[in-house]
Chains A and B, each alone.
Chain A
Amino acid sequence: MIGPTLPGSILQRKRSTWGCWTAALALAAGMPAGSLAAPQLDFLLFPAVEWRDDSDVKPAGAALDDHLFASVNLFATISADHFQFLGEWFFTEDGDEIQRLQFGWKFGSRDTIWLGRYHTPISYWNSAYHHGTYLQTSVSRPGIIEFEGGEGPLPTHYTGLLWEGSRSLSRGAVHYAVALGAGPTLNGKLDPLDVADPEDDHDAGLMVNLNWRPRSHDRNMIGVFGAKTQIEDEARLFDHIDQWVFGAYVNWHWPHWRLLGAWIDVNNEIDRLGDDDFSAGYLQAEFSPGEHWTPYARYETTRGENPDAPFLGRLDGFILERALAGIRFELTSHQALTLEISSLETVAGESDRIVLQWSAYFP
């Protein structure tokens, strides 16, 4: 089975326990207890190991021997009628972090309200891949949507409410997401709220994402998004940043080709110090002539940036410009090997990089 299975006796015990919970929940919701079905569980493991070598700028983060990086992402989901749970826990040799912890309530036929920590609906890449490394074709993420805690300049997690849904149109469908929650603080790097050890200095943010697809739940989409997040500076060089972000993105597949890209405009209003604005974008093309090999290339650029500005100047590793090419080989139906070569310019300097990555998912 590719889905999870449970031995009969355990399954019966779980059902018995579930029966008590569903009865309580059903009573609380004013529904007959029998109307709730047994939950469906799923579990996924995303391990990845990469060897990386940089010509000049040394890679950020912990390393096994300065070149070798390993990570495991644990993902679990439970769904039962209107209730949904989603959890994701990311481990590296340097530490671990609860990436997502969401409790959802489905209403109508196409809407879900989530409560908890979630991936922000910023652009396409963030919620589609995140730490599910195997799922993305390339080894690296575009610099503009790099993770918080790394060198990313945008909030990739909120903790609060998320409303997701879709509506059919006369032609195609529109999908939407509205996020309202506590965003990151600035602590050398952007530091999202840790649900395992929450602090009270995280200010609120609001984000809206809207995309059109030719058919409901199609992979092809074009979309726009906007966000306003207040980011407190823990170093107290200033009080806070009002960060406004607007962008557009595309993810489109043809029989052998795929194109994904985004353009994002960032306006940081910093109290007493003025503005720190820039725009950044990327375009990635992938070619899949068959089932096994996928060559790809990506170009990223940034415009209007000031490396000495009070916000961007503190993100040394933020990638201002990068040209890369890579090739992914499907080792098995669950494992891939990817080689990526890039030339990049960060706030700190220039470098060439070569990366070989093994990624997989189980079961």
Chain B
Amino acid sequence: MTGITSFGAYIPVYRLSRDTIANAWGRGSLKGERSIANSDEDSLTMAVDAGANCLSRLDRNQIDGLYFATTNAPYKEKLCAGVIATALDFRNDVATADFGNSLRAGTGALRAALDAVNAGSAGTILVTAADCRLAYPRSDQEQLFGDGAASLIIGKEGVIAEVENSLSINKEIIDVWRNDNDRFVRVGEGRFVLTEGYMASMKEVVSGLLKRAGKKSSDIGKLVIPSPDHRSSASLAKGLGFDPEKQMQDPLLGSLGHCGAAHPLMLLIAALEDAGPGDTILMASYGDGADAFVLRVTQEITKFRDIRGVKANLESRMALSSYEKFLSFRGIVEAVSGEPFRLLPSASNYWRDQESILRCYGSKCNKCGNCQFPVQRICGKCHAKDDYEKIRYSDKEGKVFTFTRDQLAGRSDDPVVVQTVFDMEDGARFYLMMTDCNPEEVAVGLPVELTFRRIHEGADFHNYFWKCRPLRKGGIHNG
């Protein structure tokens, strides 16, 4: 039996009210709020966070593959899945692949993972999808899009939702697209896009899969489909004989926004959080055709009540104060970047130190037990040489020892850098920047956890490293 063995979501802490966006343009608000990735986040970092939230009950050494899906990869040429697998501290002999270019990238990666596990080429694969799409300023999409990531682990042991059947269809159409040099997503004429794009493909895939699985709409406990707007998924469901009130997963446009390639998996996680043993879920995604899956929830679901899924992430939020800040975080208006560092950034230095920079390893002295981050070859306490055990700290929590709010080194749109010294339970001391916080609320003793972020662009590449953030409430962190 192959299926989902774990899930985890990540939604950036910042939310922007759609009224704020609408007021900036003097246009109508689509109501509710959308998530906004912080200035140090991108699809890759969000995918790491969601992936980590997926691993709370699993030994990460058991993972055989990592598939990453996004329409907004931070690199046009370079494997992002490889960075993510390293940040998640996976083995080196894992299969890695990036899936891109389509809103169906997430479900495409899911299908590939299911096939690999079914074929026996991998035992367990982590699929992590993330998106951070840009819509034209003032467009409906600017309000409707959201930023976020969703991860699933596919395997055969401890399955919480078995994938019983699936169907994919291909329907070529120019409806929603971005050319190679475009920044913003283009959307074609409204009626054409809706009727011949989304509606036509989704009708075909849902009815086709029901037929293939020998099921009627009434056999499905929950229909999980992203919606391009507030109404279309409900009218689609109604047309297919579903009761939108009882049988549909909320498409989360009001509280989150459409998270692109991650969104079908995000909605599936939301559905799993409410599901009970024996429930049947039909999940479908749209993008120049459609993918659909029928899943049956097992008894194992009862063990997954406190995971960091969609609910916990939605509850943990901070209001972004202005529309301008959103534009600036995404680089649509230009901010002065501030000065990240004076020494020469270096790809070889970054590569050499990747165990500490990416895997977040510190060292624990075998002689005296002293713990330090980053890895130190000579123990700072007893001076033992090259006699230590490496410890992964990315999944540990600490408490602030001292801090400052530095006004000199930040970006012009986010000028306060909270430099933080915090201690892990084993005594290891960290000195990192704090993100996703209200600087005025930082205090000695504040519990913090680690999060993977983009810290600067030195030497013309994305320098990723760890920051701390106030412990996000709800659900288990990747501990």
Chains A and B belong together in one complex:
no
